[in-house]
Amino acid sequence: MIDTYALSGGLQLADALIAATALDHGLTLLTANAKHFSIIDGLDRERFVP
């Protein structure tokens, strides 16, 4: 995932690690910028407004 998304997909390393953790554990990723993570196939994300 790091090679695919962080290095060539435009995600920061920390964001790629957070997304990988959510995917690995079958969790929904809460984010204020769901579009930012839209490039990751299979990632369940939900918009979060702080």
Q: Is the pTM of this model over 0.85?
A: no
Other Cβ atoms closer than 10 A to 10? 11
Question: What residue numbers bound the domain in which 12 lies?
Answer: 2-47
Judged against a pLDDT cut of 70, whether residue 5 lies above it is answered with no
Judged against a pLDDT cut of 80, whether residue 1 lies above it is answered with no
Give me the number of domains the chain comprises.
1
Helix (H, G, I), strand (E, B) or coil at 14: helix
Structure tokens belonging to residue 36:
């930012």
- Residue range 22-26: average pLDDT? 95
